Structure 1
Amino acid sequence: MKKKTQSAFTRRRFTQLAAAAAATPLLAAPQIAKGQAAAHVVVIGGGFGGATAAKYLKKAEPDLRVTLVEPNDSFITCPYSNLVLGGWRDLASITHSYDHLRDRWNVAHAKDTATGIDADSRNVTLAGGETLTYDRLIVSPGIDLRPPEDGGIAGYDEAAYEAMPHAWKPGAQTLLLRSQLEAMEDGGLFVLASPPNPFRCPPGPYERVSMIADYFKKEKPSSKILILDAKERFSKQGLFQQGWDRFYGDMIEWVNLPNDGQVVEVDPATRTLITEFGMEYQAEVANVVPPQYAKAIARNSGLADASGWCPVDGRTFESTLVPGVHVVGDASIASPMPKSGFAANSQGKTAAAAAIALLAGRELANPAWVNTCYSHVAPDYAISVAGVYKATDDGIISVEGSGGVSPMEADEASRKLESVYADGWYKSITADMFT
């Protein structure tokens, strides 16, 4: 018993330290000198990075003018969207309004889409025709799915999304995939095509398979799941596969890159997926997650390099290509930090602190971050991976000896605690962003 108590305390304490570390950069943020005209910081994108940055800019400097450019009234989180697919949650439970950012924190909400950035004149152009002038700009645009003509999967264009949903941007696609799963006959084949690195949420496809397997186990027990993977291995692989064996038996099959798992073409009309060496799989329901890159606003504004992602200075998340612009979240190159919601939240705080310091001409903080990615495998059974990172002259590095994954030998009580911690993490991070 004593060993279990110590393990629970350690995980709980780690979560507390993670929250503290994520907020640390703002504690050292200098105040802008009194008497100066209020500077204007524009934030593009209201996700984990952008919403956090907007709130923490105002929290640190209430007199600062902050405008959030975001076309939607609310934000639907990618974390926990897999639980909607599994029938554990509904979409409303992962949808969060921007009302508190506007009403409590006095963040101006420009309900529009940013279409252009002019770094020389420090202007952001909106789809509606308005132009916003900024002193510093924070861009947290998220991802785009690569089309066939730009490194994507042949045949998988926007028209194909309806027949073979990606559901990698939560909302209507999540509900579409869920409805297809519900309509599927027992004994049918569900195929998930998993993308190559880097992509949003490395454990995401495998948690998704777990949630769908739980649904099938209850409602369609003769059905099968096939993962066609463009990678040789994946995040938390041993832990996921251990859980799959424990709960789902032979329902799930994983085919990796060396075994011809990379999908290179699809036929939406027949829901057929074709691999690199010509194997064809016809699915009753197909979930295709294609290769990704930074959203168009970042790529078209010179923030992305040839990789399609945005290089940044790890101490400030300022673009190394366009001065005066910070890029956070999935669009940024922040490896070894993963493209996760927790990472984007931490990066948003770092960029907010850096923007304030640079506006005031004060010393910059030297940030460090903690990231934890929880994944549900079955009811009351979850696993996690954690890491600690810091900025150096050579970029962002993992802190040696820190972090790690859930132990393979953990008992059922420990896995249940992980699921409790996962729910607590989701509740606390969304409160941190939106209240």
Structure 2
Amino acid sequence: MKFRNCLLMIFSMLLLHLFTGCSDDSGKGMEDLSPVSGNIGNEVVLYEANPRVFARTDALTAITTRLDEIKALGTTVLWLMPLYEQGVQNAVGSPYCVKDYKKLNAEYGTLDDVKTLVAEAHGKGMRVIFDWVANHTSWDNAWIQNKAWYTQDAGGNIISPEGMEWTDVADLNYDNADMRAAMLEAMKYWIETVDIDGYRCDYAEGVPHDFWQQAIEELKAIKGDELLMLAEGSEAALFADGFDLVYGWNFAQELQDVFAGKSKLSALYEVHNQEYKGIPAGKQRLRYSTNHDLAAEKSPLETYKNERGAMAAFVIASMLGGTPLIYSSQEIAYDSPLSFFEYKSIDWNSNPDYLSEYKQLMQIYKSSVTLREGTLKTYETGKVASFYYKSGDKGLLVMVNTTDEPLTVKAPIERAGDNVKNLMTGEVTTLPIALTLEPYQYYIWEKE
């Protein structure tokens, strides 16, 4: 047996030399990058629900009827985009133009409807967070009567947020103590009245840090450890304010650039590393291949070339580290831009195989102890993303072709020869020294 193993080792080394240069980046085909920050350490999976893709009216009830399907995607936290009454004055149809923080958009349903949704989601083991718009209100919000509550120009005129081109909304003045108190009271209202579990905070960097610190402390006093706060922003300082999750803006942009051929995977790994630098234990970056803003401009299929490209991008976004986000519609490969300003009918049964693949990926994500506890290391294998989680003698290797052409690459040399199980197919094999991945093909192997 020892003699046979020795022969296999010699044969493998010969093959290694034969395949030198088969990677599309042969000079770095097997070069290890420095280990990337930490493990996932996180069991949260977010599902962002845009009410306007669930029903033209009574969307809250429509979402409630789909909770089992949403749960089946591995969802642990349901994020509901703004449900509040929208402004009319100077409006463009955006749900982020809030007329009344304590009143629901009647098109979506009633207070009892949202209570039912939250209660049933809790019964299925999911937390629910609302979208919160703290930076600005509509021009016809009742708060506008308190002129001092808003930012004004030199002439005393209330203004829109500077530099943002959001003319449909008026910028709030956080130097005003009464406005801050009213904002915090409104945030408490939904937790106390509906029993939601926290907020995704829109344009969090447009609101002073000391407000977030106070708000999160007081909301936690009501909700306890179940409170979940997600900041739409990029500053690591938001973690110090008490946010549990902060967007990974730069990662999402770099991921698009990689699939567009504008950037190398080494740059994506570096962005990942930088976004995790100095983050407190237990905190996470949000990882996504699309969301409501991105999908409004291009569908994932347009951004990543086709269905397989969109899936490959999601595999990297969800498996490389962080908290994965699924935006309602991407799980069935919706193929057109999707405005969140207007209703759009979605056929949730239109792509069952794609949906099943999403479910399987998220099952792997949630069930893998190695992902949960392992240390992440990336490898440079040309245009194939390659990264490995190690936990004791266990390991998980992910390889993803980011291009629309077949690529033959060398496996990470320290992984070649491992006995591995393909977690998508169940097949057990020996990892070869070199392998060919079809366009946008990916593998998720668990070391046996």
Question: Which of the five TM-score ranges fits, normalised by the shorter chain?
Answer: under 0.3
Q: In terms of Rg, which structure is larger?
A: 2
Q: Could you tell me the TM-score, scaled by structure 2's length? A: 0.24
